[in-house]
């Protein structure tokens, strides 16, 4: 069953602290990124048309994200080798994290596991410096959510931090 917006981790809630593989020998723990904004982009699958467009857009938008010192992380249930091939083919410089084992555990923790097919739903989370969700969005499956919502959330966090 595809998740519903009322079931995903919402703004104001602490981000679930998950640890995922970024490569065969390297892991990333969400709490290890506290101190800077973090963008979590859950997506169904490497090499799928909408996911390819979405993640390529985030690579193109990297300079805009860098203005906020935001770390972008792509997360799907694909394995690290698939991620490496996808990143290389598409020129992606931000980490793609494998939610492969236990299968979909991070997607489930964030409320975005599509239980019909075992894939992550297309969802975005912006975490603040303390690891609290500042903004979350569940996109329809076949729709690229773009970057506007992410940038608006980062703007709002910046405006809030300035006295």
Range 82-91 average pLDDT = 98
* Helix/strand/coil percent split, the chain, to 5: 35, 25, 45
Structure-token pair, residue 15? 């981000």
Give the domains, in start order, of the chain with CATH numbers. Answer: 43-144 (3.40.30.10)
Point out the residues that are catalytic. Answer: 51
Would the pLDDT of 85 be above 80?
Answer: yes
Would the pLDDT of 53 be above 70?
Answer: yes
DSSP conformation class of 134: E
Task: Please give the mean pLDDT across all residues of the chain.
Answer: 97
Would the pLDDT of 163 be above 80?
Answer: no
Range 3-28 average pLDDT = 97
Minimum mean pLDDT among 14-23, 57-66, 99-108, 152-161: which range? Answer: 152-161
Q: Are 135 and 11 in contact (CB under 8 A)?
A: yes
Would the pLDDT of 112 be above 70?
Answer: yes
**162 pLDDT tier (thresholds 50, 70, 90):** low
Give the model's pLDDT for residue 160. 79
What is the C-alpha to C-alpha distance for residues 149 and 131, in angstroms, rounded to an integer? 18
């Amino acid at each position: 069953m595809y998740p519903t917006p009322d079931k995903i981790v919402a703004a104001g809630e602490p981000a679930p602290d998950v640890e995922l593989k970024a490569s065969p020998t390297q892991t990333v723990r969400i709490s290890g990124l506290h101190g800077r904004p973090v963008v979590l982009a859950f997506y169904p699958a490497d090499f799928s048309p909408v996911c390819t467009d979405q993640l390529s857009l985030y690579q193109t938008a990297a300079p805009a994200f860098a203005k906020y010192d935001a770390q972008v992380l792509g997360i799907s249930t694909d394995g690290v080798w698939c991620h490496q091939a996808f990143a290389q083919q598409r020129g992606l410089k931000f980490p793609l994290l494998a939610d492969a084992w236990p299968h979909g555990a991070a997607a489930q923790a964030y409320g975005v596991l599509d239980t019909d097919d075992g894939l992550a739903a297309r969802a975005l989370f912006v975490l603040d410096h303390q690891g609290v969700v500042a903004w979350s969005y569940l996109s329809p499956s076949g729709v690229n959510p773009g970057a506007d919502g992410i940038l608006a959330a980062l703007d709002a966090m910046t405006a809030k931090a300035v006295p």
